[in-house]
Amino acid sequence: MLRYNGEPMTSRLLVLLLLCSSAGAARAVAGAPITPCDALATHVRATATDPSVVERPPGQDYDDYDRLLAPVIRFPRPTLPDAGVRVRAQRFLAADFGGEAYELEHITGPVWRAVRAAGTAECQTERFFSVRPDGGFGPIATPAVFGNLCWFSSRRVGVVGGRSALIEQEIQVHPQLGVDIEITPWTSRALKTCRVAIRFDDAFRVTERFCKDPSVCVAAEPLALQLAEALGRADDGATMTTVAPPPPQQAQALSTPLAKAKETFESAQSGYTDLPTFGAKPSTRYSLYSGSPQVTLIALAGQPFIARVGIGGIGWRELGDYLVTLYRVDGDDLDPIASYVVERKNIGLRSVTTSVPKPYLGNQ
């Protein structure tokens, strides 16, 4: 295979072809330069015709989109600093990181990035610096970020069109699955960022069902799908649309048990964290309710139930499939009747758009 600077010629030619795409040509005619985001958007539209690229295989995290982005965006193995640079970096960065562990990433030429991920949300702290010809270090202002760099927001050093670039990703879960990619090419001129927003069509499917009352369990399965989708489509990930509500008088009579159920679930009391499986072993990777599950009333064949809808995970971290449990109200007790695991899966590309993003300002 022909290679250029150690890189396969086929990958390099593909990137060059993408940079000369019809979308880019239209921009060039209008007098605007072809951006890395134009190339990425064209590549995603072409690549997404292969369902395997956008589907979420079982057990794959939602934030693993590297295959879709390659080869326009590559994340090569990082260049490790020599011992001298590392020792001097420790002194230079002591005030920023203290004794905390961090990684050094080479960007280009004399420019380096130091990054530390800490806490349960894996929040990133960054520092940029350059190595002067005399061996000393000089700070570089941290480029703007477009998310909070915590949990589903992160930034890495990548390569686009043969140039080093900062690649930030904001994973989107509501109301559509997707990812925003911010590309900041690292050049000697002012850093200019563009964004590619990728959204997927998706589908919900019951993969596991656990029954204490088989008749209710089977009849309620379509409602379990609707409840999972209602939570998934909520703009804020919490405000669900109403699904199969009971009549107003029946709902009013159950207002107190519903309030107690919410209080019980939110307090994570023992026995109310796990998805009830009635002695069976679930196959889903995360069978504990995480985050802030929603509680609502539904009616099935004229009979009211309290439904708990959430996402499996650990603590506040929502990592897995959707979990749905139906409870029958028995005085002051909640009697679980049926539970479901609902998979949400990418099934195709919905849209790809490009824009110039605004920097993230947090609570300012």
pLDDT at 9 over 60: no
**Model pLDDT, residue 224:** 98
Could you write out the DSSP letters of every residue in 233-301? T-TTSS-PPP-SPPPHHHHHHTHHHHHHHHHHHHTT-TTSSBPP-TTPPP-SS--BEEEEEEEEEEEET
For the ranges 137-141, 231-235, 267-271, the lowest mean pLDDT is seen at: 267-271
Give 107-124 pLDDT, tens digit per residue. 999 999 999 999 889 999
CA–centroid distance for 280 within its chain: 30
Three-state DSSP class for residue 87: helix
Closest CA to 337 of 243, 235, 210, 248: 210
pLDDT at 346: 87
Among the listed ranges 22-36, 243-257, 314-328, which one has the minimum average pLDDT value? Answer: 22-36
Query: How does residue 19 score in pLDDT terms, banded at 50, 70 and 90?
Result: very low
pLDDT-derived band at 268 (thresholds 50, 70, 90) equals low
Report the 10 Å Cβ neighbour count for 154: 19
Q: Is the pLDDT of residue 50 over 90?
A: no
Judged by average pLDDT, the poorest of 17-21, 123-127, 239-243, 294-298 is 17-21
How far is it, in rounded angstroms, from Cα 229 to Cα 264? Answer: 24
Q: What is the pLDDT of residues 137-160, one digit of tens each?
A: 999 999 999 999 999 999 999 999
Query: What is the per-residue pLDDT for 363?
Result: 53
Containing 16, the helix (H) or strand (E) segment is helix 9-19
Cα–Cα distance for residue pair 201/216, rounded to 1 Å: 30
**Residue type for 53, please?**
V
pLDDT at position 62:
55
pLDDT band with cut points at 50, 70 and 90 for residue 56: low
Give how far Cα 307 sits from Cα of 240, 324, 341, Å.
12, 7, 13
Per-residue pLDDT band for 63 (boundaries 50, 70, 90) equals low
Band of the pLDDT at 283, cuts 50, 70, 90? very high
Using left for φ > 0, alpha for ψ between -120 and 50, and beta otherwise, residue 277 falls in alpha
Residue of 118, 117, 120 whose CA lies nearest to 316: 120
C-alpha of 217 from chain center: 32
Predicted confidence (pLDDT) at residue 21 exceeds the cutoff of 80? no
Query: 100: pLDDT confidence band, cut at 50, 70 and 90?
Result: confident
What is the arithmetic mean of pLDDT over 221-228?
A: 97
- CA dist 44 and 101 (Å) reads 36
- For 324, the token pair is 């749905």
> Which among 309, 306, 310, 286 has a CA at the least distance from the CA of 298?
306
Those residues whose C-beta lies under 8 Å from the C-beta of residue 184, and which sit 6 or more positions away, are 143, 165, 166, 167, 168, 191, 192, 193
* Helices vs. strands in the chain: H and E counts, helices first: 11, 15
**Rounded to 10 degrees, what is the CA torsion of 61, 62, 66, 69?**
160
Mean pLDDT rounded to a whole number for the chain: 86
Which of 219, 183, 222 shows the shortest CA–CA distance to 301? Answer: 219
Categorize the per-residue pLDDT at 356 as very low, low, confident or very high, splitting at 50, 70 and 90.
very high
Are 43 and 72 in contact by the 8 Å Cβ rule? The answer is yes
